[in-house]
Structure 1
């Protein structure tokens, strides 16, 4: 059997290119959750921000605008295609440094000699090979008293925006083998208390999770919603692995049929807002 690809290989391949091409749609879909993250982080003018798993740059850009000219943003991701997209987007406020690196191992503490005031991540912390080592590395990049605020998905069953399309596709294709517990993936931190414990192991204090729930509009109409789910949703990998074109078309048809008949498609989403402090 071939060796499984690394997360760096995964996000620099077809997946990263797809996400970069769908940047506008992704940011629009996740806009209400983005707002919850920024509110929970409590960014202030002049703060130095570290964006982990910055992707195509939405959080870094919004943090730069809030931090203002007196602040600064360091944005880190392993995905070259998404960083290329991020670098093309207009920015205001604080300067942004875009860094192609793995936040688990990159010397983040050296990226700002005074330490960052806050570390943020919108769905970027679930994909580390060694989560405890990654969070410890992020903590070391924060000044004493620096804050962490990250979003991660709750359980699959609590996220109809994923579970509904997934059930439709699995009505046509076999269910894939489950990933080993604790392995990288979108639902790595579905159990909030496990994440709290992990942050404590990484040296943070005051770790807590707060539930965030809201509907996501995954498409202005059923066709757009089908395209979004099939291109960048968590079930996109299931579709890419179908070798038989006819079977793939059947799966896409089942996905389309699972969507409402007309109008905007809004499906529920549930995540954790995890916060913690670097004690120094």
Structure 2
């Protein structure tokens, strides 16, 4: 869900992943990661990393995906995770240290300007590639981070209307507050909802053999097994639903909480949590 607060010109403000958004993700990191785990699993299955490969994990967050990849590439391979959030990089490094992993490092840097000491064989991003203000320039830089015939694998959200987990929450908010319309192709979770646009960006950045598959499944809101109450707490503390109403009076916040709880109760599946439909694109491309 995008941050729809406005700047002085009336334009939606970009999400501040180096600051507030990174801190929010960290605060709810276990629930965030559990919510998108099914898509992350599908992304890594499609990527099929091999022993000995050098892999760049773009927008690595708390490093969970990076840690999984280290097992696939083995001791002869290497994984570097990069993220713009210092909070998340600190968590990622702590996780790697706790796991005693030696073929993994993390850097806090903007991927749009990242320059590795040597190129990578592979690049992967689980929902970390949709926030570039200038995507063609950013992906052109990332193209230069890969070996010739290197491969990139991305997971990005499909269209909002095909993601009821988001649209139904927005519907709740619209009963109480004005929700500004989304700006097509603006940096944010749904920047690449249009596969033609994603294909064009990757192509103009120098990638070829672009192949995009749809992933459709159920998202466990607040993580696998979360109760409707826990899912509501997660939505209000960590997702855009909470950011949109946190400055409102207590009465409005309680009304939003009530309606979100009612929504999540309708989607509760016994023993599995609050499951709502979602759609993502899994994109693969190679350098040319």
Equivalent residue for 1:197, pick from 192, 195, 200: 200
Residue 175, structure 1, aligned to residue 179, structure 2: yes
Partner of 1:272: 281
- Note if contact 2:93-2:105 (Cα within 8 Å) is conserved in structure 1: no
Superposed, which structure 2 residues align to 1:48-67 within 5 Å? 48-67=54-73
In structure 2, C-alpha distance between the alignment counterparts of 1:236 and 1:117, rounded to whole Å: 40
Asked if residue 210 in structure 1 is aligned to residue 213 in structure 2, the reply is yes
Give aligned pairs, total.
272
Deviates more, 1:79-88 or 1:9-18: 9-18
Aligned partner of 1:82 among 88, 107, 131: 88
Please say if residues 211 and 272 of structure 1, whose CA atoms lie closer than 8 Å, have aligned partners that are also in contact: yes
SS in 2 for 1:11: coil
Query: Structure 1 unaligned runs (5+)?
Result: none
Deviation at 1:93, TM superposition (A): 5.3
Q: How does 1:3-152 map to 2 (within 5 A)?
A: 10-89=16-95, 90-91=98-99, 95-107=103-115, 111-113=116-118, 115-152=119-156
Q: CA deviation at 1:104?
A: 0.7
Cα displacement (A) at 1:215: 0.5
Contact 1:64 1:92 in 2 (8 A): no
Deviations along 1:139-168, whole A, 9 cap, x unmatched? 110001110000000011111111111111
| Structure 2 CA distance for partners of 1:2 and 1:158, relative to 1, 3 Å | same
User: How many Å apart are 1:85 and its aligned residue?
Assistant: 1.4
Separation in 1 of the partners of 2:257 and 2:93? 33
Shift of the alpha carbon at 1:179?
A: 4.5
- Any idea what the Cα deviations from partners look like across 1:83-128, whole Å, max 9, x if unmatched? 1111111346552221111101222xxx242x20110000011100
- Which secondary structure does the structure 2 equivalent of 1:105 belong to? coil
1:244 pairs with 2:249: yes
Give 5+ residue unaligned stretches, structure 2. 1-6
